[in-house]
Amino acid sequence: MAKGFYISKPLGILGILLGVAAVCTIVALSVVYAQEKNKNAENSAATAQPPSATTTTPDPTIPDPTLPWNQYRLPRSLLPDSYRVLLRPYLSPNAQGLYVFWGNSTVRFTCQEATNVIIIHSKKLNYTSQQGHPVVLRGVGSSRAPAITRTELVERTQYLVVHLEESLAVGSQYEMDSEFQGELADDLAGFYRSEYMEGNVRKVVATTQMQPADARKSFPCFDEPSMKAVFNITLIHPRNLTALSNMLPTGPSVPFPEDPAWNITEFHPTPKMSTYLLAYIISEFKSVEEMSPNNVLIRIWARPNAVDEGHVTYAQSLTGPILNFFAQHYNTAYPLEKSDQIALPDFNAGAMENWGLVTYRESALLFDPEFSSIGNKERVVTVIAHELAHQWFGNLVTVDWWNDLWLNEGFASYVEYLGADYGEPTWNLKDLIVLNDVYHVMAVDALASSHPLTSPAGEINTPAQISEVFDTISYSKGASVLRMLSSFLTEDLFKKGLASYLHAFQYQTTVYQDLWKHLQEAVDSQSAVTLPASVSTIMDRWILQMGFPVITVDTSTGSISQEHFLLDPNATVNRPSEFNYLWIVPISSLKNGQQQQEYWLEGVQTAQSNLFQTTGDAWVLLNLNVTGYYQVNYDENNWRRIQAQLRTDPTAIPVINRAQVIKDSFNMATAQRLSVTLALDNTLFLIQETEYMPWQAALGSLDYFKLMFDRSEVYGPMKSYLRKQVEPLFSYFRDTTQNWTVRPLTLMEQYNEVNAISTACSSGLQECHTLVDTLFKRWMSNSSYNPIHPNLRSTVYCNAIALGGEAEWDFAWEQFRNATLVNEADKLRSALACSNQVWILNRYLSYTLNPDYIRRQDATSTITSIASNVVGQTLVWDFVRSNWKKLFEDYGGGSFSFANLIQGVTRRFSTEYELQQLEQFKQDNIETGFGSGTRALEQALEKTRANIKWVRDNKEAVLQWFTDNSQ
């Protein structure tokens, strides 16, 4: 599953900090949805309860933890073989105003251990009584089914429990039938509805999102990834609509005998697969199609208008080639006949890798050259690559349980750059992993409240705990350490081991040690690459320990040491490590611009090598292209020599490492391992830098300074310094783009053009203010013609709204309401949070509560973007504190959005008063709980304490430095 919410790369220093993903539902709308849920509960009670003689009351207040149906993990006594599922969604509301679906299913399973109880997942399904029970059980072949004594629905663990008179026989197969009704809600989970407007007509789509634990909301099933089975799906749908599922139909749709206005579409059986990869969709969507180079049917589906206007053309051009690239990369054929990609108006994540039917947010699949930016285009190619990578790694071979989710998502997050690079070979996309993933996740992994990539399976049980695993550690740290592994093994060896792993475990589930074993076999089969220890010995230290090392070099002696890096040096690490927070570290290096042989720091704290010893003006730089998952600190003399090199000839240091020098030094300063002024000195060379990555590294690092100081007297001199540094870059792009009328040639240049405008405007460069004001007013004077290039719209919109007032905001709001392309709507929605007027932001915050204004999938990111604006932060924090209990009760502990909201609203916290508020917030809501936001809250508390100390220790020095260097 792709990370959820996307913001174009180059929103600058004053641009709203929209990095937090909006991967789930809105955290408001509580009153409306409480009413709906109550109505649903009343309706269910009235219409679908089995007779009282055959059911029991819900589970008691204090459930007995020894009973298997009170445990969140399924027993292994029964294993599914296949399902037959028939579903009929109603795409108009019933008499109670609810959308519902009807279904029946038959699950065939084999008894592995004698048991007199059948435990199967079921969530929010209302069963129809059959033979006095909600299910019918029968034996297969010569097997005899015991009689059912009673059944119960256990809401807490989401089980349907069937108690039997006798035990099932080991080795025997059984089938269990059920008929049920569920709500086709707009909650973005399970079998749900998505809506869109076509002219003045509201259209409804029935669609699915099963991962991680919502297939059970669509039909009763053994809803764990290791419980793989074959699925036979049949859909009953209005005859003017198209039905899709993981597989192709067995033949043409046929009329539904009971109602000729409906058709029946039956699909081929799936391969053996996990429940979370199921998908079925009923819609009016259209498609374009072609055969891929490896003879797979490729179809891109979207709203009819989007297809007619060519918004699927770019995705169509990429999908077949990238699918073929991965088939060759894995040395394993794509196992299905077709690969559908479909853009949904309402979708909680970025995309979902359902086998053969990949679902996307519209912004992750649709591209319109007239309205979409280069960042939107990059988003499409990388998300497609991410999801297609999963078709093998995740779908063909699946992790046994969610504690190893990092292996699925980390792998796809790494190789998405390889697939995207194949799709757009001139963009140098592989370099972007350093800023987008490596350093992004290090900011979290450097906290004492971080966690290892994997954990014991027994620590991840509830749906909320499962949802919490879908975090930046699983995605971005997973990608970073696998990239490091591929680097020191070499890509060819990595691919060889990978292909062996996929062939050995196809249609099965694995644990991460299985991958280490096959990679080790690849290493053992040759002699060119030698390692200081086994793959498992090296990698377990990166997987089982949280955090990462800082490598410290003293170039006067060549000594080198490692230590667990913490942004707060006074933080207490309560999580023990069997490796004592020491790693086996592959170290690449440059000495005076010349690459040296690779060195291994072999799990010891200190060592010495002449590779790292220098004399005279020579300098050493470690971690070439940041392939290693660690940061580097040097003695002050070496830092000064690197600075001298950057001022005289920065090209002697590779562009990625120019970014690294900035990122590492700022992190060292935050951790009090380096003076903050030395880190700031590492930005002085930017006055002559035109490359994107060093500038982006600096802006990202200085974002922290903005968050800490934009409410203090430091911010004025800081803006003056940035204005001085960025003015040459602004002039460079003004001249090379012929006064902003043509775009630079390369992706990185186009990104840095936007950085130049964003930073120049936010730091107060008058020429930039005039530029954005003029462009926006030209658009306001003729709304039918937008003169702003799509690449520049995010930053022009944001800065024009920040500089303007009610008229600018209202115009942008009207354009947002009328936008037909989601990429354009997203740019406007983000920019609307840039206003500097409290009352406008307060009004905008109230709009997020109304689904007619802001889609549920977008509400969390909208609220977070308002919080990221210094003017709006207090508004959002007050809202969250006042409404937490109600929001949490209505939307449950499994929602991803709670973590994102806590992270977003607390990023500026740097005073004792804010810490007290945060601690009080925790205390006030301790009984309610925080669900998937639990870890985010602990991280916010830790970060706030660190921020308080950092500001206290550095404020005066930072103020003086910016004052001295802004002239």
Among all residues, which ones are annotated catalytic? 387
The pairing of beta strand 397-399 with beta strand 508-510: parallel
- List Cα–Cα distances, 553 to 528, 626, 838, 932, in angstroms: 29, 16, 49, 39
| Nearest residue to 178 via CA among 73, 62, 85 | 85
Those residues whose C-beta lies under 8 Å from the C-beta of residue 89, and which sit 6 or more positions away, are 99, 100, 101, 184, 191, 193, 206, 237, 282
Cβ-contact 949, 909 below 8 angstroms:
no
The CA R_g of the chain, rounded to the nearest whole Å, is 28
| Backbone CA torsion sign across 903, 904, 909, 915 | negative
Residues in the chain: 967
Query: CA 414 to CA 409: how far, in whole Å?
Result: 9
Between the two ends of the chain, the Cα-to-Cα distance in Å is 48
Which pair of structure tokens corresponds to residue 522? 């690849």
| Nearest residue to 245 via CA among 359, 368, 76 | 359
- List Cα–Cα distances, 543 to 363, 397, 452, 481, 482, in angstroms: 33, 20, 6, 8, 10
- List Cα–Cα distances, 458 to 129, 204, 250, 461, in angstroms: 36, 40, 41, 7
Partnered with residue 111 across adjacent β-strands are: 78
Query: CA 869 to CA 835: how far, in whole Å?
Result: 8
Please give the full DSSP string across 683-713, using - where no structure is assigned. TGGGGG---HHHHHHHHHHHHHHHHHHTTST
Q: How many CB atoms lie within 10 A of CB 740?
A: 16
The H or E element that residue 602 is part of is strand 599-602
| Nearest residue to 505 via CA among 414, 408, 419, 386 | 408
Which pair of structure tokens corresponds to residue 354? 């359902």
The residue whose two tokens read 């930053």 is 795
Query: CA 592 to CA 607: how far, in whole Å?
Result: 22
Query: CA 149 to CA 238: how far, in whole Å?
Result: 39
Helix/strand number for the chain, H first, E second: 29, 31
Query: CA 600 to CA 609: how far, in whole Å?
Result: 10
Q: How many CB atoms lie within 10 A of CB 916?
A: 11
Mapped onto helix, strand or coil, the DSSP state of residue 366 is coil
Mapped onto helix, strand or coil, the DSSP state of residue 90 is coil
Query: CA 766 to CA 222: how far, in whole Å?
Result: 62
Q: How many CB atoms lie within 10 A of CB 924?
A: 12
Please give the full DSSP string across 589-650, using - where no structure is assigned. EEETTEE---EEEES-SEEE-GGG---TT--EEESGGG-SS-EEEE-HHHHHHHHHHHHH-G
Those residues whose C-beta lies under 8 Å from the C-beta of residue 631, and which sit 6 or more positions away, are 442, 548, 549, 550, 551, 565, 623, 663, 664, 667, 668
| Nearest residue to 721 via CA among 358, 430, 963, 476 | 963
Those residues whose C-beta lies under 8 Å from the C-beta of residue 425, and which sit 6 or more positions away, are none
Query: CA 210 to CA 600: how far, in whole Å?
Result: 43
Q: Report which residue type is found at 340.
A: D
HSE of 165 in the Cβ direction (CA atoms, 13 Å)?
Answer: 7
Phi, psi values for residue 234, rounded to 5°: -130, 135
